[in-house]
Amino acid sequence: MKRIRLWSLFCILLLALGLTGCGADLNTFTWRVDAVPVNLDPQLAVSSEDVTAVMHLFRGLMRLDASGEPQPDAAESWTVSEDGKVYTFTLKEDLEWVWYRQRNQDYLRAVTAEDYVYGFQRVFDPETGSPYADDFSCIAGSEAVRESRADPSTLGVEAVDERTVRITLETADPEFLTKLCLPGAMPCNREFFDSTEGSYGLSSSSVMGNGPFYLYNWTSEGLFLRRSSSGSAINNLRLVLRDPEDTASPADRVRDGSSGAELSDTAAEDLAQIAYTSRTWGLLFNCSGEDNPLANVSVRQALASAATDADLTLPSGCEPAQGLIPPSVSYAGESYRATVGSALFTASDPVPLYQQGMAELGQTTLRNISILAPEGSDYTQLVGAINARWQQLFACFFTVRQLPQEEYQAALASGDYQIALASLEPSSSALLDLPSRFDGELAGFSDSGVHAMLTSLQAEPERVNAQTVLALEKAILNATPFAPLYCQQQYLLVDPTVQGLGFSPFGPTVDLTAATRP
């Protein structure tokens, strides 16, 4: 019996060493995540954890560098036609598919242009349900394929030969090279995909990548990726589940070496850090329901204007919002927000607006309205100041409903609120990301004018620029489903010995492709 126990302990020790990636030749970077990746299918990956994993396991035609600019990845070179509609990419030589732990020799084969063609066909296959179909709607024939009115082979993506991919657009898109860095543009080997029989990307045995890293282990505690050792390059990436009982600060976890980088609400001058502002906090009005007084535009405009004009003490590290889109979103290399200025709805006197809304509703004042907010003294103070302002101007007082974070998020997701203090974060750097959520998706809001403007810009991406998006943003905020209050600055704290780390606040995600640490 004792021998059996000793042997069991020995096996457990070996397993632990394998899972944690210990080894003299490993240069390890740990990124703590709120959830272990669950889907490594690039055409479906959407959570920050899934996207981070996919970015390392797969190689698209282009990849964002550390400054956020698209650079060739699997592509050796490319050309663009004079009208900006035809992109021709030449693949690098010796690109290979690699299976789990590099063990399956049956699938160690060259990556070809057909793999990129099939990846795009899957994006528009209705059975896939890819979240990236809208991003690539500029590709010729995509609408017909997406609606099952045309064969996938008619899509404007073709393999000229084994190393040449040609993509034809319906309309020119100045952001197309950046979009090619999205997971949806990653390749997919048709034969391997078919062999997984519906489980593609859902288990270690059903993942085959062509990226800089390969899948080493995938457990309930984390995802572990590796690549061959090369000088000071980081070759061991650990996406490890965040421990809710770990009370150490993000900065301390970076300092003690247990994390390569951490997200934080506060700066740490002794660490390398990236400051970013990609979260806009404001009041989200639930517009749904026939008998809902907040479905009245005049009422929302009055409440929003009064709240925006209130004397608010903002949480530390925050600044007044100037619109829906936060400062981290850029256009033509500059902050969109700094370029266009404010998009806020303001009324010189919100009282007449409120009275107009009440008259339209046949009421004298609002009653039985509650404000949902997360627990925390900063939120209590903020909502209290807004409530006091509304009482002063409109003689109405709303109850405040503060919930623990998990319950608060559940209430938001289910629409169980009337007014909510909530934050909005873009999931990508696309200018239309946040505005597109207000097209019948968020807070029960719908507006024919907003829908027409958004549909027009999506159909003609060459018209998407700072001024056309500003007009759309103002149309949304004038209808007031959301009243922006402040933007929250956050920080990525990084081990100062790490160089070349790619980071996107949209997700957020990290990219270790070019990262080194001596």
Q: Domain locations in the chain? A: 25-40+52-57+211-271+495-518, 59-202, 276-490
Round the average pLDDT of the chain to a whole number and report it. 90
Cα(372)–Cα(393) distance, integer angstroms: 21
Q: Which residue type occupies 48?
A: S
> At the top level of CATH, which class does the domain 59-202 belong to?
alpha beta
Q: What is the mean pLDDT of residues 67-72?
A: 90
Q: Tell whether the model's pLDDT for residue 12 goes beyond 70.
A: no
Cα(63)–Cα(72) distance, integer angstroms: 6
Cα(189)–Cα(135) distance, integer angstroms: 22
| Neighbouring C-beta atoms of residue 192, cutoff 10 Å | 19
The partner residues of 399 in beta bridges, in order of sequence, read 370
Q: Tell whether the model's pLDDT for residue 45 goes beyond 70.
A: yes
> Which carries the bigger pLDDT value, residue 289 or residue 76?
76
pLDDT digits (tens, 9 = 90+) for 248-271: 999 999 999 999 999 998 999 999
Q: Tell whether the model's pLDDT for residue 500 goes beyond 80.
A: yes
Lowest pLDDT segment from 102-116, 123-137, 350-364, 370-384? 102-116
The pLDDT, as a whole number, for residue 52 is 97
The pLDDT, as a whole number, for residue 317 is 83
Identify the burial level of 168 via C-beta atoms within 10 angstroms of its C-beta, where 0-12 means exposed, 13-18 middle and 19 or more buried.
Answer: middle
CA-based nearest residue to 278, from 509, 514, 57, 488: 488
The pLDDT, as a whole number, for residue 66 is 83
**Superfamily assignment of 276-490 in CATH?**
Dipeptide-binding Protein; Domain 3 (3.10.105.10)
Query: DSSP 3-state assignment of 150?
Result: coil
Cα(424)–Cα(328) distance, integer angstroms: 13
User: What percentage of the chain reaches a pLDDT higher than 70?
Assistant: 94
Q: Tell whether the model's pLDDT for residue 23 goes beyond 80.
A: no
What confidence tier does 19 reach under pLDDT thresholds 50, 70, 90? very low
The pLDDT, as a whole number, for residue 3 is 40
Stated pTM of the model: 0.82
Query: DSSP 3-state assignment of 118?
Result: helix
The pLDDT, as a whole number, for residue 102 is 65
The pLDDT, as a whole number, for residue 8 is 41
What confidence tier does 230 reach under pLDDT thresholds 50, 70, 90? confident
> CA dist 378 to 14, 201, 421, 485, Å?
47, 41, 12, 13
Rg (CA), the chain: 25
Q: Tokens representing 178?
A: 């950046």
Q: What is the mean pLDDT of residues 179-206?
A: 95
Q: What is the mean pLDDT of residues 377-391?
A: 93
Diameter of the chain measured on Cα atoms: 85
Cα(59)–Cα(211) distance, integer angstroms: 5
The pLDDT, as a whole number, for residue 441 is 74
> CA dist 93 to 7, 75, 115, 159, 286, Å?
47, 9, 14, 15, 54
pLDDT digits (tens, 9 = 90+) for 429-472: 889 999 999 997 789 999 999 999 999 998 888 888 999 999 99
Q: What is the mean pLDDT of residues 129-133?
A: 94
Which ranges of 233-272 does DSSP label H, i.e. alpha helix?
A: 250-255
Q: Tell whether the model's pLDDT for residue 318 goes beyond 50.
A: yes
Same-fold call for 25-40+52-57+211-271+495-518 versus 276-490: no
Spatial contact of 322 and 341, defined as CB atoms under 8 Å apart: yes
Spatial contact of 419 and 371, defined as CB atoms under 8 Å apart: yes
The pLDDT, as a whole number, for residue 103 is 57
**Superfamily assignment of 25-40+52-57+211-271+495-518 in CATH?**
Periplasmic binding protein-like II (3.40.190.10)
Spatial contact of 316 and 446, defined as CB atoms under 8 Å apart: no
The pLDDT, as a whole number, for residue 395 is 92
Q: Tokens representing 250?
A: 């993000």
Cα(476)–Cα(282) distance, integer angstroms: 14
Backbone φ and ψ for 269, nearest 5 degrees, come out as -65, -20
Q: What is the mean pLDDT of residues 327-336?
A: 86
Q: What is the mean pLDDT of residues 211-217?
A: 94
Cα(145)–Cα(142) distance, integer angstroms: 5
Q: What is the mean pLDDT of residues 168-194?
A: 94
Q: What is the mean pLDDT of residues 5-27?
A: 46
Burial readout 429-460 (b: 16 or more C-beta within 10 A, e: otherwise):
bbbbbbbbbbbeebbbbbbeebeebbeebbee
pLDDT digits (tens, 9 = 90+) for 76-117: 999 999 999 999 999 999 899 988 776 555 556 799 999 999
The pLDDT, as a whole number, for residue 107 is 55
Q: What is the mean pLDDT of residues 221-247?
A: 93
Location of structure tokens 């929302």: 300
Cα(276)–Cα(190) distance, integer angstroms: 39
Query: DSSP 3-state assignment of 112?
Result: coil
What confidence tier does 290 reach under pLDDT thresholds 50, 70, 90? confident
